[in-house]
Structure 1
Amino acid sequence: MHRLNSKNIAMKIFIFSLSISILLTTALVTISYYLTEELTFDLVHDNSSKNIRAHGESVGHWIDKQITVMETYASSPTIRSMNWDQIEPYLRNEVLKGKGPYEQFFLADPSGNYHTTGKRDAGNLKDRDYFHKVMAGNSVFTQPLLSKTLGRFTYIIAIPIWGEKQEVIGLLGASIDFSTLKAYVDSFRVNHKSSYSYIVDQKGYVIAHPNTDYITKLNITIPSKVIPPELARNAWQVIQNEEGCIDYTFKDVKTYAYYKKIPHTDGWTLVTRVPFDYLYEPIKAKNRRLFIIGSIATMFIGFFSLFIGMLVSKPLVHLKKTLEENTSLLEKTLRHDQFKTEFFSNISHELKTPLNIIFGNIQLMELASNQKQDSPSYFKSTKYLSVMKQNCYRLMRLIDNLIDITRIDAGYIKLNLENHNIVEIVEEITLSTVEYIENKGKMIEFDTDTEEKMMACDPDKIERIMLNLISNAVKFTNLGDLIQVNVFDHNERVLICVKDSGIGIPEEKQQQIFERFAQVDSSLNKNQEGSGIGLSLVKSLVEMHGGTISVESQVGKGTEFVISLPVQHVHSDDNTMDGALTSKQNKVERIHIEFSDIYS
């Protein structure tokens, strides 16, 4: 076997690189000379297709943003009061602040009678299709309509106003001037004097165009002075398909029309007109440059390969040696991690065996003590047994947390994901702690803005998370304090909040509490103890669900932990509707373990 040295490497790199560079460069120049026109055209064509796709999504996001803003307005207590005397100043102020593209706002009751920010008792909207859609609970962004109060065409955003019983109690609307969407769509044209973008509805009528005279009057399915017959014949593709491109000739100019359905609309399509000249412009210049670049590249690569061969030969020899050393070190590290994981797994059994024996003896002693309740030492022995039992639970909790953290680090813990009602799971966990918390002289309550939210989760891991957070809340609150557990449905995410009115966490410590073995200054509450593992474990379990956890706290005022979980689903034969996690006895056992370091 030849020894690896710098001279051999340099010569091999030089010969190999020079041979390959000459061969590839010659072939590339020859083939590309004939194919560059087609390849470049396809590249520009694909880029235009990607642009129209992105622009269509952008318009959809813009429309969705306006709907979201209006839904936010509609959910405010002021709007839901349906009191126009209070609402008008509020809406007029929003227009003056210029927070959105709105010309005016209007409010309608279920009978269709409406007021605008410019006129009270402006009329009735029952003859508008969007009014009935909103009364059915839908948010609507309309195509251009003739405004009853402004006397000209505008876009209308109409949002349902929901009552306390989730019934529609009214309609909040706003008008948007043509120029707003026109300016937005105009920015999508390519850099060519004959290029422009426009929007058509599901019937082919133009609803946004640089020439406002065409809006609601021009139909791309009907030939006219500005709609060539070739475009009108193929317009059905634009209306029916999700995205694509059609070509046609207009006034002897070959043109491509790229189109994309706009999300969050009732079948609207964005169309961008791109002249063929724009697509062909880069091709001729690239043909000339290609030959020059190829010739220069051949000479450059020959000299450069020699320089590189000399430059990298010594580092390659050193790299090979370093790689062998690192490979050996990696193998040792992996074996060490495996031994560590096996050690913690084995030691957990070794520690739990004497614990179980101690538990068994404590139960026998409790049984014997209960049979001698008249004995003078009964209350004292009961107290001692209770302390022993609690500290056994505490030791078991520490062992479980250490083992789980180690298994998570090693990647041995997997989620058992099934579709469950997360609201019911959190509620049952919370209610299972009520008796324990009330015995501590504190209160806990559960609330939610939705009764059912099916999503993929591991109920056992959710139970560990919730009991740990509730345990923290109990530990660091005072007598009579309230602990609140809330679930909020944010469509694509679910928020679970655990809030207390306890001692709080200093701001400089809030980012450290999720670190392993980190603890808040014990001077804040000397009666409580902990290992500093619990919140680190909670964070790991939340992140395994694809979620995040954050904390907001003020010293002396309380703390709120907020868990944000993505709403996902897994394929299974049956969705698990029952939120029950374990038996009642196991729930009590788990509470005793998780709450074992609470002494008052």
Structure 2
Amino acid sequence: MVKEEVRLTGKLNKGSSTGRFFINRRLDNRNCNGRIYAKSCINKSKSADDMNNVALKNVSLAEKTKELTGSDWVSALSHEFRTPLNVILSTLQVALMNTSGEQENEYSLVKSKYLRIMRQNCLRLMKMVNNLIDINRIDSDFFNIDPKNEDIVRIAWLITNSVTEYAGAKNIKVSFETNKQECIIASDTFQLERILLNLLSNAIKFTPGGGKIHVELVVMPEKVYISVSDTGQGIAPQYQKTIFEYFGQTDGKTYTEKKGSGLGLYLVKRLLDRMSSKIWVTSKEGQGSKFTFYLPNYRLPQSVKEDKHVDYQSHRVERLQIEFSDIYVG
């Protein structure tokens, strides 16, 4: 038995712009030979306004479905990429370890060079995949911030100090300044690290050799301000808002060779949104940029300062390599 729907729509009052429309739905029941053995009809009458409302609802539903499908597709694809990337990275790491024990010759040097290039580009893909997954989780409201009472001054200093090798490779000086030697606030150390590393990697990327990067932490009664300034190429006024948008980038010949995915600053902004904070930039072309954000200055009442320090060093190297994967150190 097969049911076939026949739908017919027409206008009853042809001379009136506000006439009523009829909808005739007929269900034909066919047997296995295709012959109709039963029919049922449903007749409805609707006004023009009703028809317009239905059409608008259908368009809205289609747009939401399309948006949801795209978001789910990005999330699913990102997760599918992560597993093979981890396998490739592990294999490359083993291959690099094996080359370290080989007798040094022209072939081994070339092989080691290309293995490092392959690994670095895998890390770039991993960075993009991680950012896409986290952006999707934030936009879907499945991303949680895990604040704990920590010394924000110490954490910011450790993160800043960890990038000196990358900055030194470009002959860039990195400095850190604070108005307090200690400040315990509730913060998610891991997410704060991602935010600062992203800002620092951008500063190193767009600052020429011999330049300077300065990180400043200012403790105020209600907020803790953290800024990352550089002496790089600066950002044109028309791009100072778009860089925080999804896939937002600047333009220009000087920027083309250094383009990232356009996800980093958008992720930074969304992370800070979850922390009840915000970020902004002040910049002049040719004079550098200064990115500033703040964190609420408060402590969790049920938590006290822990005696043990945050285990920042345990995965520091891996996190740095992923975040700085688009900066080539010779």
TM-score category, normalised to shorter length: 0.7 to 0.9
Runs of 5+ consecutive residues of structure 2 not aligned to the other structure: 1-46
| Alignment correspondent of 1:413 | 143
Residue 132 (structure 2) aligned to one of 402, 406, 420: 402
Deviation at 1:506, TM superposition (A): 1.5
Aligned residues of 2:75 and 2:132 also touching (Cα < 8 A): no
Find out whether 1:595 has 2:327 as its counterpart.
no
Listed one character per residue, the Cα deviations across residues 77-105 of structure 1 (whole Å, up to 9, x for unaligned) are: xxxxxxxxxxxxxxxxxxxxxxxxxxxxx
Deviation at 1:494, TM superposition (A): 0.9
Cα distance change, pair 522–395 in 1 and its aligned pair in 2 (3 A): farther
CA RMSD of superposed structures (Å): 2.6
The SS at the match of 1:377 is helix
> Aligned equivalents of 1:321 and 1:579: distance in 2?
63
> Aligned equivalents of 2:289 and 2:311: distance in 1?
27
> Aligned equivalents of 1:332 and 1:579: distance in 2?
51
| Alignment correspondent of 2:105 | 375
Residue 230 (structure 2) aligned to one of 476, 480, 500: 500
Residue 91 (structure 2) aligned to one of 345, 351, 361: 361
> Aligned equivalents of 1:396 and 1:535: distance in 2?
17
Deviation at 1:376, TM superposition (A): 1.9
| More helix, by proportion | 1
Listed one character per residue, the Cα deviations across residues 97-125 of structure 1 (whole Å, up to 9, x for unaligned) are: xxxxxxxxxxxxxxxxxxxxxxxxxxxxx
> Aligned equivalents of 1:446 and 1:581: distance in 2?
21
**Identity percentage over the alignment?**
36
**TM-score, with structure 2 as normaliser:** 0.77
| Alignment correspondent of 2:292 | 562
Structure 1 residues 156-171: aligned runs within 5 Å: none
Cα distance change, pair 549–319 in 1 and its aligned pair in 2 (3 A): farther
The SS at the match of 2:243 is coil
Structure 1 residues 421-500: aligned runs within 5 Å: 421-500=151-230
Greater mean deviation of Cα atoms: 391-400 or 561-570: 561-570
Deviation at 1:340, TM superposition (A): 4.6
| Alignment correspondent of 2:116 | 386
Cα distance change, pair 579–449 in 1 and its aligned pair in 2 (3 A): farther
Cα distance change, pair 373–502 in 1 and its aligned pair in 2 (3 A): farther
The SS at the match of 1:513 is helix
Q: Which amino acid aligns with 2:178?
A: T
Residue 511 (structure 1) aligned to one of 225, 241, 246: 241
| Alignment correspondent of 2:30 | none
> Aligned equivalents of 2:233 and 2:309: distance in 1?
32
Listed one character per residue, the Cα deviations across residues 408-452 of structure 1 (whole Å, up to 9, x for unaligned) are: 111111111222222122111111222332233222121100122
> Aligned equivalents of 1:457 and 1:334: distance in 2?
35
- How many residue pairs match? The answer is 283
Aligned residues of 1:420 and 1:577 also touching (Cα < 8 A): no
Listed one character per residue, the Cα deviations across residues 456-499 of structure 1 (whole Å, up to 9, x for unaligned) are: 22111111100000000000011121111110012111110101
Aligned residues of 1:428 and 1:579 also touching (Cα < 8 A): no
Aligned residues of 1:421 and 1:578 also touching (Cα < 8 A): no
Deviation at 1:504, TM superposition (A): 1.1
Aligned residues of 2:79 and 2:129 also touching (Cα < 8 A): no
Of structures 1 and 2, the one scoring higher in RCO (CA 8 A, sep 6+) is: 2
Q: Which amino acid aligns with 1:551?
A: V
Deviation at 1:568, TM superposition (A): 3.0
> Aligned equivalents of 1:521 and 1:544: distance in 2?
29
**TM-score, with structure 1 as normaliser:** 0.44
Cα distance change, pair 340–579 in 1 and its aligned pair in 2 (3 A): farther
> Aligned equivalents of 1:571 and 1:331: distance in 2?
45
